Amino acid sequence: MNWSIFKGLLNGANKYSTAFGRIWLSLVFIFRVLVYLVTAEHVWSDDHKDFDCNTLQPGCSNVCFDEFFPVSHVRLWALQLILVTCPSLLVVMHVAYREVQEKRHREAHGENSGRLYLNPGKKRGGLWWTYICSLVFKASVDIAFLYVFHSLYPKYILPPVVKCHADPCPNIVDCFISKPSEKNIFTLFMVATAAICILLNLVELIYLVSKRCHECLAARKARAMYTGHHPHGTTSSCKQDDLLSGDLLFLGSDSHPPLLPDRPRDHVKKTIL
């Protein structure tokens, strides 16, 4: 697999991520992908060749190796890295879809017809949900693979000697793993970085949800203030009330401008999500 192309695709997700997301991407590139490419593949390259058993029975070493290593660490890590980074690519694809929609809208209605998205990369509406789902998926994948590793190799530790009694072995034989200490070091390192990535995903998830809740509460408060200044405005339609809901796109800056009591809708624009 060409990891350089894969890394180039993920770099595009960096500008659409929060500060926690950028830290997560850096951690994945430096401490997981690079460690995997530079060291892990070389450490596990001779695991089958140097797996020795104290018997000359043909086929015994192969059977014992398959029993203790049903799935290679390297292949599990490769699958884990692919699955855990794919949601970031989906976010980039969603932003690209928004940009295409914005371009088609301008071509169909002209440059002065307004915009579908003030900022296609802004985490609003469907893109917000895509980003939230990506965080949940990434954390779930890492948790699932940590459980799988723990199930296959208790405490993530490889013993130097394993006992094997499987056909065609004549009796219980001792089999010796190549470089168990070095493999344990890299295994624990990969487990630790995966745990840190899970923590970062959860922190980013809490941050985005709390920020969204704060924005919704601020919008409700602004609507209540407007209703207090305009008691006759309570008979307006639901579509007009939605302009002051939590799905507003505030123009000019990320901060919410104050809603003036006389013409509050001059400061807001509902986006097509």
Instruction: Please provide the DSSP assignment of 233-256 as one string.
Output: GGGS-HHHHGGGSTTEEESSSSSP
Distance from C-alpha of 68 to C-alpha of 75, rounded to nearest angstrom = 15
pLDDT more than 90, % of the chain: 18
Token pair, residue 221, equals 């408060």
Chain centroid, CA 249 distance in Å? 25
Token pair, residue 31, equals 């401490």
Q: In this predicted structure, what is the pLDDT of residue 271?
A: 42
Round to the nearest angstrom and report the end-to-end CA distance of the chain: 36
Given a cut of 90, whether residue 21 has pLDDT beyond it is no
What are 134-166's pLDDT values in tens digits? 999 999 999 999 999 999 888 888 888 988 888
pTM: 0.73
What are 71-112's pLDDT values in tens digits? 888 889 989 998 998 888 888 888 888 888 888 877 777 777
Asked if residue 159 has a cis previous peptide bond (ω within 30° of 0), the answer is no
Given a cut of 50, whether residue 250 has pLDDT beyond it is no
Identify the residue with better confidence: 48 or 137. 137
Q: Which domains does the chain have, with CATH numbers?
A: 3-226 (1.20.1440.80)
Q: Tell me which of 37-41, 209-213, 231-235 is least confident.
A: 231-235
Confidence of residue 133 (pLDDT cuts 50, 70, 90): very high
CA distances in angstroms from 139 to 28, 134, 196, 222, listed in the order given: 13, 9, 10, 36
Q: In this predicted structure, what is the pLDDT of residue 146?
A: 94
